[in-house]
Copies of this chain bind each other. A is one copy, B any other.
Amino acid sequence: MERDQAEELRSLQDTLYFIGGKWRIPIINSICNGNKRFKEIERSIPGITTRMLSKELKDMEVNKLVKRTVYPDIPVLIEYEPTEHCRSFGNVIAEMINWGRSHRDIVMERKK
């Protein structure tokens, strides 16, 4: 089958649009790694502000990437879980981690 470069580019740009910004992917990564509570997620991502995390989680809930469950205990317990669609992004993240590693090695090598 011949490759449809225009279609490939559209798919690629959809993904880049989805990634949008520096926090979306670290948050997906954190939730897929099993962090469920707001504070857990926040602590796992150095540099993120409470405000940014809150905004991103709301957006991700609307877009069906994250499921938010409220347990009516006292105090109220809120948990975030990744949807299947969110988990499917894991392969992209795994490749990004691999590449980031080799990129670091190459940059270090150059500085020697």
Chain A residues close to B by CB (< 8 Å): 5, 8-19, 22, 25-26, 29, 33, 44-46, 64, 85, 88-89, 91-104, 106, 110
Contact = CB atoms under 8 A, between A and B. Distances in A.
Given A5-B33, A33-B5, A45-B9, A100 B64 contact: no
| Pairs of residues from A and B, 5 with the lowest C-beta to C-beta distance, nearest first | A11-B100, A14-B100, A15-B100, A15-B96, A92-B95
Copy tally for this chain in the complex stands at 2
> Main SS of the interface on chain A?
helix
Given A22-B13, A103-B15, A91 B97 contact: no
A29 B9 contact: yes
Contacts of A18: 100, 103
